Amino acid sequence: MTVPVLDPHFYPMIEFLETFERDVAALPAKKRNRISLSVSHGGKQEVYAYWAFRDGEDDARNCFLAERLAKTLLWLYGGHRIGVYGSETVFEYLRGRYCAEGARAFDFDFMQGVYEQPFTVEKLAEEPSRKAASYQVGGHLKGCRIGFDAGGSDRKVSAVVDGEAVYSEEVVWHPKTQSDPRYHYNEILTAMKTAASKMPRVDAIGVSSAGVYIDNKIMTASLFLKVDKEKYGDYVKNMYLNVAREIGAPVEVANDGDVTALAGSMELGEGRVLGLAMGTSEAGGYINAEGGLNGWLSELAFAPVDLNPEAMQDEWSGDRGVGCKYFSQDAVIKLAEAGGYRFPEETPAEKLKEIQKLAEEGNSLAERVFADIGVYLGYTLPFYARFYDMKHVLLLGRVMSGKGGALILANCRQVLKERFPALADLDLTLPDENSRRVGQSIAAASLPAGK
């Protein structure tokens, strides 16, 4: 195994899973058990079925893997119900983890809040089957449109006329540290008014933003981390709708990861696109073979990447080894500090720029930081491939800018070639520099059908 030099204890999820599968396959048939985990909401259901040890044979590994898979399913697909078929032990374990007092209380509360339904873990008498959905989104280019991309460190906006960006800007802002949502509202409105001033009219507004959105309402988003939900709940939930009403145009809001994938699909002219945006956090999105969305969360920031028990902890979810600490500016900072680099008192965005500048200058530690992120990615994409039927992977976000992005790409490809040859031909795409920085806001502009 190729090991990240600055993170030698990295234990990829795919390594544990493949070892588990080999060990189970070596057992006599009578000692193997079929387990199916499902997550469901709104009539949709996704299922992951696999062979495991029979109850009582190796319960520790069975339960550990089931918990990590259940976590993955929840954050990739979304749902307020976990179904367990085939193991009483796994069922009881997951029920104890995914509850208000359990280790996964964050996930329990989050999914209840998003879907506004009680979260349950249920024992299934029959093996579950997939109940999927697909719907078309984006690709609307006619007219005068605003595309807004709400990043955690900067906000980007584009004025787009008949598919061509006539104006784009990036402005630094600090939404995650602000407790008054009027700050967010005014910043968003200012950006959109600026874009509107560059066009004769506004026919539609498209928004790319981290978080979960239902009917263009903000169900949850890290941008409002410091805002009091009890006090400002409805104000925050309807923010994009209210801004659009003030501008006087219809709005369509989508998760930023889905917009990343949409941008790639539009450029390539085909589906099976996984989009990954590496910035303040990790955002994921997926366009299926039909060119549509599956209605998945694709919140890869919270999906397991590293099973090292001492892996960096995510301060929001409380979990360790999840994607937001491996494919984001936090990963850059973590690895640089592990290599002995000491930052002055700066914001995370400024620290990222500092390491990027050093990489451009040929600093060996800075280059190693991005090379190690490439190793992370090379071991993580094969795990994602267990859930996404992907032909193309589009890589966007501030972390992918400049020489650092090229190093990530090269080292990822090397790991795939050496360790996962079946995926060596996976199309990994880095858009040009301008598209990489503002491409999401332009693609966002195509989301709504318009007036």
Tell me, what CATH number does 319's domain have? 3.30.420.40
Same domain, 160 and 94: no
Domain boundary among 123, 158, 192: 123
Q: What is the pLDDT of residues 344-376, one digit of tens each?
A: 999 999 999 999 999 999 999 999 999 999 999
Same domain, 114 and 152: no
Domain assignment present for 5 = no
Annotate 289-337 with DSSP letters as a single string: TTSSB------GGGSB-B--TTSPBPTTT--BSBGGGTSSHHHHHHHHH
Same domain, 374 and 446: yes
Dihedral of CA 269/288/386/255: which sign? positive
How is residue 276 annotated by DSSP? E
Number of domains in the chain: 2
CB distance 407 to 395 below 8 Å: no
pTM for the full model?
0.85
Q: What is the pLDDT of residue 435?
A: 54
Domain boundary among 123, 155, 176: 123
Q: What is the pLDDT of residue 204?
A: 96
Domain extent, residue 66, equals 13-123
Domain assignment present for 7 = no
The whole-angstrom separation of Cα 431 and Cα 420 is 24
How is residue 84 annotated by DSSP? E
CB neighbour list of residue 368: distance below 8 Å, 6 or more residues apart? 5, 6, 335, 339
Domain assignment present for 165 = yes
Same domain, 111 and 229: no
Same domain, 159 and 213: yes
Residues in the chain, pLDDT under 50: none
Same domain, 169 and 53: no
Same domain, 99 and 175: no
Q: What angle do CA 314, 439, 212 make, to 5 degrees?
A: 40
Domain boundary among 83, 101, 123: 123
